[in-house]
């Protein structure tokens, strides 16, 4: 298992992940980053759209970055 760090990087500056997550593969880390980006787009819409979830390894090397885009789910009104 390897430790991966998921930082939120945007115009306001980075929100760093100091703990990370233990995952078996970079594919798992990529899938986790996509899920984090989708969750942020739905929950924190305006403040994070245009930011990225950046994944790094334990050596600080950036592996990939997932953009946080406006989600169709966040634009759907909640029925009462």
Q: What is the reported pTM? A: 0.82
Give the SS3 label for residue 54: strand
Rounded-to-integer distance, Cα 15 and Cα 64, Å:
16
Q: What is the dihedral sign for C-alpha 39, 47, 76, 69?
A: negative
Say if residues 25 and 17 touch (Cβ distance below 8 Å). Answer: no
All structural domains of the chain with their residue ranges = 2-67
Q: What pLDDT tens digit does each residue of the chain (80 aa) get?
A: 999 999 999 877 899 999 999 999 999 999 999 999 998 888 766 777 788 999 999 999 999 999 988 765 555 555 55
The beta strand positions in the chain, using DSSP E, are 2-10, 13-15, 21-23, 52-56, 62-67
């Amino acid at each position: 298992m390897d430790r991966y760090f998921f930082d939120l990087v945007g115009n306001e500056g980075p929100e760093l992940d100091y703990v990370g997550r233990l995952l078996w593969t970079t594919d798992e880390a990529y899938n986790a980053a996509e899920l984090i980006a989708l969750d942020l787009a739905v929950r924190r819409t305006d403040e994070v759209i245009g930011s990225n979830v950046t994944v790094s390894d334990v050596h600080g090397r950036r592996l990939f970055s997932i953009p946080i885009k406006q989600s169709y789910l966040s634009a759907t009104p909640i029925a009462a």
